[in-house]
Amino acid sequence: MASDTLAMTSTRHSLQAREGHCAMRGSCGKKTFFGLELPCPNDDLASEDNIDRDLLVSLCGPEYAEGPTCCAKTQIENLGENLARAEGLVSACPACRNNFREFWCTFTCSPNQATFLNVTSTQETTSGETAVQSVDFHVSKEFGEGFYNSCKSVQMGATNAYAMDLIGGGAKNYSNFFKFMGDEKDMGSPFQIDFPLLPPSEMTPLARQARNCYDDDLGSRCTCIDCPDICPSLPPVAAPGTEPTCHVGLFSCLTFVLVLVYSLALASFLAGYITQLTLRKRRERSYERVALSTDGASESHMSPRIHTRGLVGASSLAQHYDGAESTGTQSETRNLGRGASLLDPIDTVQPRQYRLNTALRRVFYKLGLICATSPWLTFAVVFAVVGLLNLGWKWFSVETDPVRLWVSPDSESKLQKDYFDEHFGPFYRPEQIFVTSLVPSAGTTDAEPHILSWNSLKYWMDVEETIRGLQSSPHGYTLEDVCFKPQGPDGYCVVQSVGAWFGNDLGDWDSETWQDQLLHCATSPGSVECLPDFQQPLGPEYVLGGIPREADGSMRILDSKALVINIVVSDSLDKDIQARALEWETTLKDYLLQLSAKIGYEAGLSISWSTGVSLEEEINKSTNMDIKIVVLSYIAMFFYVALTLGNGSTVGNEEEGIVSSLSRWARNFPKHFKSGGLLSSDLSIDSRSNPTWFPRLPRKLFVGSKFALGLFGIALVILSVSSSVGLFSMMGVKVTLIIAEVIPFLVLAVGVDNVFILVHELDRQNLLHGPNASAAPNFGFTTPMSPTRSRSQFDPSQSNEDSVDAASMPLYLSPEERVARTLAKMGPSILLSSVTEVVAFALGALVPMPAVRNFALYAAGSVLLNAVLQVTVLVSALVLDLRRIEASRVDCFPCVRLPSRIALLDPPPSGSGLGTIAKFIRRHYAPFLLKPQVKAGVLFFFTGLLAANIISIQHIKLGLGEF
């Protein structure tokens, strides 16, 4: 039958090529029982018989209102059904919709059908009639490109995809578009339609004028989202940092100015310094000539080189030396150079005082005296207030939402997002899984092996089936209960996976046929057999990763490096629905953890994933790890403080150190075992040379150490941070990760610094006014040159310019008085530095970004509370620790008291009270730093460093990294 039809067709080319003739008309039955109606081959003239004119005009327009056609009533009805099926896909753009209708109306009903359509083969239907099996449809390139261009950008809001993915299989040109529509398939054309590029000489291609989406008529004009050609062109906006800037050559103007100013300043200084040296040498030579020409020059003539140019107090400093260690070294002190008087701890060598400093000293003296006199009352009052502040931990909460961390709640974007979430619901919760292969692909040397293989697909399809059946604990939710269903509650879950191309079941394919199906769906994802159950075409970019490309841009699908699986879970402002999603996501995360441990040896695969709860859990995990670092830092700082605080104590200064004591004991211990034992004549006058069964450790190890005080200082730092958290939690300010990770270290640094300052000043007060001070000579200190030395330094009748230490004499003062003097001396420094830090952090609270604002508030509160605790509670602790030391009680065990040493009256302290580091700074570092050349060098070095940093700021890139 087919051969007869072809013979008939070949003998009547001249008739088919004539206008007014048809190539097919009417319906001749179905290919299968469930198939669609097939047209009959018919080369007769177009006719007006058996036509539903009204239906035809409603489908194809007024040009078919009269005249003959090549379609019968049944064909018109089938055409209407097919056009209605595509209406929802192309109706958003009038040009695409009208081109689509015109294309198929012309194909089906044009009275000149024979001029562009040729039946190439026929077939027998179930009713025994002859029907069309394949045709050639000749279409001009211009019309084909215009038709494709009008539809290629049309979008479908329901699936967030392009209409071309469904009507054209994701075609990238008009040829593929036509081929997809013409291929015979169950849900497409019931017969094959081919589109040859060149028609026979006796035929002409369909050459109608296609509508453009940017035409002005209402039948063509599309919206901007469906037709980019009509979108208004916005003026180009330069990316941040790419705007044209002022340049001088290769340098920006700012860089050029900084380098120029710095260079000129440096050159000017060097020129001035060299000029000064030259002039000084000339004056010295002139002085030498005058001295040589004068006999018996007066002693009053002095060389300009030896004229004193020291600061105020240099004469007093010249008489000061560091006790026994500095005996006979007054010349060394005189050689400390200019500015050395600033290093002297005695204020009388610098008699200038400031009214604010004097007033603050008096206030802190009174505060210190109150806290030192009533330490337990101070503890009770302050700790009661601190306890009330820590009640705020009841409202403690941590902010982990990145949006609430970095976006101001009053910003326009945040308000718009909240409005959108409230009225349309929040965005989905994506669960992503990435699968890669650990087994190198055969015959390749790629660093990343290919993922697509029959065994890998089978294994992963089983994994996906398991994921779909996962039940959460304790409520037993499954993916069906939490997933996003675009087709409604009775629809299907959105699971974007390569398995969707196989209908989530590989039962219809084997190791020989799976590649054909995968390649077909990768090139035509809109094909009916490739659509997932939720009906969104899945292009290869959605489900495959690392797809190599050829030089011409074509994709090598089978060489893909990864599978990409996206499971979309619904989100909601409803806490119950959100909790349901969180519970299932936790179950999915636990399953993926178990899978990652075994997928390597089971299938040679590796997985990475991200769930909706991954970010917050990772943040919490990071925070928990940071807690260990914080604890270790505080422990390390405690040992450092405890081991160094007691260095300045006068307890046991005349005794040997621990190492020396142990060494002496080890040397003397063998004497126990000498033959004949020890005779009285063998006993040394120095008892330290006699052997003992146990080493004699220095008293300073037990009494002079400050382990308890160091621990108490660290505890105050922790307490200040805790109280700040409680205070601001009570006020509704949430804690952020920056606060949890930074503020403990920040307050620790500031707090420990103040502890050292107070303890070292107390050691100096003990040296001057401790129990041994009354017996001490005036070892190297000149009598203070103050007319008020016999009065108290805090006498209200005293002048504001009088120093707190104006009466600093080596006479005994009570522990409370010494502690009060310590706070009076160091309190103003602690206050001013703390106020500066608090104000600086408080200004940061003006920044609208929540993370920065909350950090600034917590930091300001912590520093302020830490300073308050240190000038009150720590002062009380200092006096208690001082009483313990003077009572010879053991540190950390104050109930244990060491017996007093049987010895002569304690000699006066022989040292200056300075530690090794302090002595090094006083004798070497400070004199070197105060040299004019060094000061200038330091000034220019840090000025240059500042200029370099300002230049580098220009290259900082603003923004946050991806979460």
pLDDT tens digit sequence for 412-450: 888 888 888 888 888 888 899 999 988 765 555 555 678
* Token pair of 482 as six digits: 């939490």
Which pLDDT score is estimated for 912? 53
Which pLDDT score is estimated for 216? 85
| pLDDT above 50: residue 88 | yes
Given pLDDT bands bounded at 50, 70 and 90, which one contains residue 710?
confident
Which pLDDT score is estimated for 662? 62
State which H helix or E strand residue 60 sits in. Answer: helix 53-60
Residues of the chain with pLDDT > 70, as a percent, come to 75
Given pLDDT bands bounded at 50, 70 and 90, which one contains residue 795?
very low
| pLDDT above 50: residue 456 | yes
Determine the Cα–Cα distance for residues 900 and 560; give it in Å rounded to an integer: 85
* 706 or 695: which leads in pLDDT: 706
Given pLDDT bands bounded at 50, 70 and 90, which one contains residue 894?
confident
- Who contacts 407 (Cβ-Cβ below 8 Å, separation ≥6)? 413, 414, 849, 850
Which pLDDT score is estimated for 734? 84
* 245 or 852: which leads in pLDDT: 852
* Token pair of 214 as six digits: 């940017």
| pLDDT above 80: residue 71 | yes
- Who contacts 434 (Cβ-Cβ below 8 Å, separation ≥6)? 545, 562, 563, 564, 565, 607, 608, 609
Per the prediction, the chain carries an average pLDDT of 78
Given pLDDT bands bounded at 50, 70 and 90, which one contains residue 688?
low
* 71 or 905: which leads in pLDDT: 71
How far out from the chain centre does Cα 300 lie? 72
| pLDDT above 50: residue 304 | no
* 668 or 576: which leads in pLDDT: 576
Provide the angle, in degrees to the nearest 10, between the axes of the packed helices 141-151 and 94-109.
140
* 459 or 311: which leads in pLDDT: 459
Residue 147 contacts residue 159 (beta carbons within 8 Å): no
Q: Could you tell me whether strands 429-437 and 192-194 are parallel, antiparallel, or unpaired per DSSP bridges? A: unpaired
pLDDT in tens, 900-936: 655 444 455 555 556 677 778 888 888 898 888 888 8
Phi, psi at 155, each rounded to 5°: -110, 155
pLDDT in tens, 581-611: 889 998 999 999 999 999 988 888 999 988 8
CATH 1.20.1640.10 in the chain, residue ranges: 363-424+625-647+697-771+812-889
- Segment 87-91 shows an average pLDDT of 84
Structure letter (DSSP) for residue 21? B
* 456 or 780: which leads in pLDDT: 456
Closest CA to 751 of 834, 875, 645: 834
Determine the Cα–Cα distance for residues 702 and 707; give it in Å rounded to an integer: 10
For every residue of 714-761, DSSP letters joined together read HHHHHHHHHHHHHHHHHTTPPB-HHHHHHHHHHHHHHHHHHHHHHHHH
The mean-pLDDT minimum among 147-151, 412-416, 840-844, 904-908 falls in: 904-908
Count Cβ atoms below 10 Å from residue 191 Cβ, excluding itself: 21
- Phi and psi based region of residue 249 (left: phi greater than 0; alpha: psi -120 to 50; beta: remaining): left
- Phi and psi based region of residue 443 (left: phi greater than 0; alpha: psi -120 to 50; beta: remaining): left
* 752 or 295: which leads in pLDDT: 752
Q: Could you tell me whether strands 192-194 and 495-496 are parallel, antiparallel, or unpaired per DSSP bridges? A: unpaired
Closest CA to 510 of 462, 452, 460, 454: 454
| pLDDT above 90: residue 564 | yes
| pLDDT above 60: residue 660 | yes
- Segment 368-381 shows an average pLDDT of 91
| pLDDT above 50: residue 679 | no
* 499 or 710: which leads in pLDDT: 499
Given pLDDT bands bounded at 50, 70 and 90, which one contains residue 622?
low
- Who contacts 91 (Cβ-Cβ below 8 Å, separation ≥6)? 97
Determine the Cα–Cα distance for residues 49 and 907; give it in Å rounded to an integer: 136
Class of the CATH-defined domain 363-424+625-647+697-771+812-889: mainly alpha
Given pLDDT bands bounded at 50, 70 and 90, which one contains residue 387?
very high
Determine the Cα–Cα distance for residues 724 and 728; give it in Å rounded to an integer: 6
The mean-pLDDT minimum among 369-373, 701-705, 749-753 falls in: 701-705
- Who contacts 409 (Cβ-Cβ below 8 Å, separation ≥6)? 850
Cα dihedral sign, 810-814-815-817? negative
Residues of the chain with pLDDT > 90, as a percent, come to 19
**Cα distances (Å, whole numbers) of residue 553 to 288, 539, 564, 836, 852:** 91, 16, 21, 62, 47
Count Cβ atoms below 10 Å from residue 846 Cβ, excluding itself: 9
Determine the Cα–Cα distance for residues 3 and 130; give it in Å rounded to an integer: 12
Which residue pairs, CB below 8 angstroms and at least 24 apart, start in 781-789? 781/319, 781/320, 781/346, 781/810, 782/316, 782/319, 782/320, 782/348, 784/346, 784/348, 784/808, 784/809, 785/316, 785/348, 785/351, 786/348, 786/351
Which pLDDT score is estimated for 715? 86
Determine the Cα–Cα distance for residues 906 and 888; give it in Å rounded to an integer: 14
Which pLDDT score is estimated for 624? 54
